[in-house]
């Protein structure tokens, strides 16, 4: 009889092994065997828990999305934040260590490429994009008129995604990620000055 609570542990092992495998072999080179080998678990357990490699890839992307959400919620719960502080925190959440690790960056890049051909992955991407826009818009609306808040949210989301992508593809990504975070915060400052009042 399986031990109580062992399934979440095994699933997390397999997700972490998937991140590691994609980081080493890329998405195309990642197989059930490379994942199970890294996890130290039988390949059959992947089919048992996830229905196969594709199910595990989707679960891994959801894990990265959840990490973004958890980082944001944990930061927001620490103290009462002004709208501007919340905007800066959203930027920071998108540039945390887990989101800029080699494993995460390669998984995100593979995910974006595959999302163009896979409806389920495309849906996850839309959810991710809408969540970012919604969080940004909520804070900007407290600093400027609603129509300007929508524009500011779209600009900031594009800057976050664009700077993150440029950093991920850079030879010196660690330094680039730090600079990217700073530039995104500067964009927010500029938008608040242009459309609203400094918070």
Model pLDDT, residue 78: 63
Residue 71 falls inside a structural domain = yes
Lowest mean pLDDT among 9-23, 43-57, 68-82: 68-82
Residue 141 maps to which CATH number? 1.10.357.10
The model's pLDDT over 143-171, given as tens digits with 9 standing for 90+, comes to: 999 999 999 999 999 999 999 999 988 87
Average pLDDT along the chain = 87
Output 172 or 29, whichever has higher pLDDT: 29
Instruction: Report pLDDT digits (tens) over 116-153.
Output: 888 888 898 898 899 999 999 999 999 999 999 999 99
Burial class, 166, CB count within 10 angstroms (exposed 0-12 / middle 13-18 / buried 19+): middle
Residue 1 within any structural domain of the chain: no
The Cα angle at residue 190 between residues 186 and 191, in degrees rounded to 5? 115
- CB proximity list for 37: less than 8 A, separation 6 or greater: none
- CA 167 from centroid of its chain's CA atoms: 14
Q: Which residue has the tokens 């950093």?
A: 167
Domain count across the chain: 1
Domain with 75, as residue range(s), is: 6-195
């Amino acid at each position: 009889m399986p031990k109580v609570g062992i399934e979440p542990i095994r699933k997390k092992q397999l997700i972490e092994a998937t991140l590691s495998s994609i980081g080493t072999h890329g998405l195309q080179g990642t197989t059930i065997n490379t994942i199970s080998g890294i996890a130290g678990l039988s390949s059959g357990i992947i089919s048992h828990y996830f229905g196969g490699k594709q199910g595990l890839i989707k679960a891994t992307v959801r894990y990265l999305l959840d990490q973004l959400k958890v980082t944001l919620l944990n930061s927001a719960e620490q103290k009462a934040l002004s709208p501007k502080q919340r905007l800066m925190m959203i930027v920071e959440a998108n540039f945390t260590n887990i989101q800029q690790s080699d494993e995460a960056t390669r998984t995100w890049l593979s995910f974006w490429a595959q999302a163009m051909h896979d409806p389920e992955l495309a849906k996850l991407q839309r959810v991710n994009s809408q969540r970012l826009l919604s969080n940004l818009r909520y804070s900007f609306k407290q600093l400027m008129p609603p129509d300007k808040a929508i524009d500011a949210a779209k600009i900031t989301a594009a800057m976050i995604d664009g700077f993150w992508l440029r950093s991920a593809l850079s030879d010196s990504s660690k330094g680039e990620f730090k600079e990217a975070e700073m530039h995104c915060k500067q964009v927010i400052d500029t938008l608040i000055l242009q459309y609203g009042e400094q918070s």
